[in-house]
Structure 1
Amino acid sequence: MQSHSVQARRQLRQSILNERAKLSLEQQSIASFNLIPQALALINQYHTEHIALYLPFNSEISPLPLIERLQQQNKSLYLPILHPFAKGHLFFQQYDAETLFITHKFGMQQPKPDVRKVKPLNEIEMIFTPLLACDKSGNRLGYGGGFYDRTLALTPQAISVGLAYPFQFVENLPTEPWDIPLNHLIIGDIK
């Protein structure tokens, strides 16, 4: 029998995915640009140079406009890759103009692994994470694979920042013992 928390999380995931699917491309784009000022303010507040981001999947709020702005500022940027030898883990690789991409087993784009560009986790200063929902305590609900919870557990030095649409913010999320709360949440308004 499943716990109430597991059922509640599953239902919330589906509800958020349904809401996200209703967003127009214009709303998605507006939200992605609207998060830039808050993200830059956080990056400046923490004097961050080594920043991990993600590539958007389906209708996730996109950090691509932010990535473009950070490239103009000559920040060192890193993207996640599914670890080939440690199941359920991520590692980060430097992103630059020469980065080639492949599709991984879950259908998402990631950089083609290049050992010369791998960044040690303990050198990442800030991690922007995708999410399905987040609450006022920083609790994050992802897709259920635990990839970012494991990554955040291994990078306590990194400032963790969730990126979300307004409807992804909920009052209280059901949590599990392995959940790692985010330090910050940035909401990209869709108007």
Structure 2
Amino acid sequence: MLEAEVKSILRRQMFLQRKTMSLEVVTAGSRTICKQLLSWPVFQQAKTVMGYLAMPGEPYLDDLLIHAIEAGKTVCVPLMGSVYGVMESAAITDLNEVVAGRLGVRMPDPSRARILDPSLIDLVLTPGVAFDDSGNRLGMGAGYYDRFLIRAPQALRAGISWSRQLVSEVPWAEHDILMQWVVTEDRIINCDKRLVWTQQ
């Protein structure tokens, strides 16, 4: 079976799993993930953090983003442009700045967005459909994050995932960007054993 077919099958399976999660489970799990991140030295020491505005079924990071803004961090989120598969990082100072974009997905108001250079980002919190312990990530299939992360090679990369999204192996292609950590409601997985984080 071709790698693209395997990814497509896995993506469908994961979407079905997401649909079984009640709003209460998503809300509680999101709070737990945000707590994990708030106590994590990698997040605490990052001055510029790229989060995301969750789609239905994804872990919500709103509480974390609000905390980061209040703590004086520079916070940015994805801004999808007119070119399919390409996104920018837009700085936000208040979640009230976001609007409903394509397909109802929340995003910064394009008419007011302040684009942040990807080379300034310290940590990218990355959503996904499935992850494995080696840091492989299955996205939505359009390659937005893979293209973006190439432009931010200095940024540390953490996948944000439900524990039920962890699988034994995510199909991998040469253009796929590995995560260095995966954060779930249960634990923080160090995927890159060469990377030992020491608090500074």
TM-score, length-scaled by structure 1: 0.89
Change (3 A) 1:64 1:98: closer
Q: What is the rounded CA distance, in whole Å, between the counterparts of 1:187 and 1:116 in structure 2?
A: 30
Secondary structure at 2:79's aligned position in 1?
A: strand
Query: Where in structure 2 are the equivalents of 1:111-150 lying within 5 Å?
Result: 111-114=108-111, 117-150=114-147
Question: Mean Cα displacement is larger for which, 179-188 or 100-109?
Answer: 100-109
Kept in 1, the 8 Å contact 2:51–2:76? The answer is: yes
Give the corresponding residue for 1:91. Answer: 88
Question: Mean Cα displacement is larger for which, 89-98 or 28-37?
Answer: 89-98
| CA drift at 1:35 | 1.1
Which of these residues, 5, 8, 28, is aligned with residue 7 of structure 1? 5
Deviations 1:92-134 (A, max 9, x none): 1111138533333343121012577211111011111110000
Give the corresponding residue for 1:169. Answer: 166
Deviations 1:122-176 (A, max 9, x none): 1011111110000111010010000001111111100111111111011111111
Q: What is the rounded CA distance, in whole Å, between the counterparts of 2:115 and 2:179 in structure 1?
A: 24
Q: Does 1:43 align with 2:43?
A: yes
Give the corresponding residue for 2:58. Answer: 60
Give the corresponding residue for 1:69. Answer: 67
Change (3 A) 1:92 1:183: same
C-alpha RMSD of matched pairs (Å): 1.8
Look up the equivalent residue of 2:73 and give its one-letter code.
K
Look up the equivalent residue of 2:46 and give its one-letter code.
T
Secondary structure at 2:104's aligned position in 1?
A: coil
Change (3 A) 1:98 1:23: closer
Number of aligned residue pairs: give it: 184
Q: Does 1:31 align with 2:12?
A: no
Structure 1 segments unaligned to the other structure (5+ residues) = none
| CA drift at 1:43 | 1.0
Look up the equivalent residue of 1:9 and give its one-letter code.
K
Look up the equivalent residue of 1:136 and give its one-letter code.
D
Secondary structure at 2:128's aligned position in 1?
A: coil
| CA drift at 1:180 | 0.4
Question: Mean Cα displacement is larger for which, 10-19 or 98-107?
Answer: 98-107
Give the corresponding residue for 1:101. Answer: 98
Q: What is the rounded CA distance, in whole Å, between the counterparts of 2:55 and 2:104 in structure 1?
A: 9
TM-score, length-scaled by structure 2: 0.85
Structure 2 segments unaligned to the other structure (5+ residues) = 187-200
Q: What is the rounded CA distance, in whole Å, between the counterparts of 1:127 and 1:98 in structure 2?
A: 18
Which of these residues, 4, 18, 21, is aligned with residue 20 of structure 1? 18
User: Which structure has more RCO (C-alpha within 8 Å, separation ≥ 6)?
Assistant: 1
Give the corresponding residue for 1:80. Answer: 78
Identity of aligned residues (%): 25
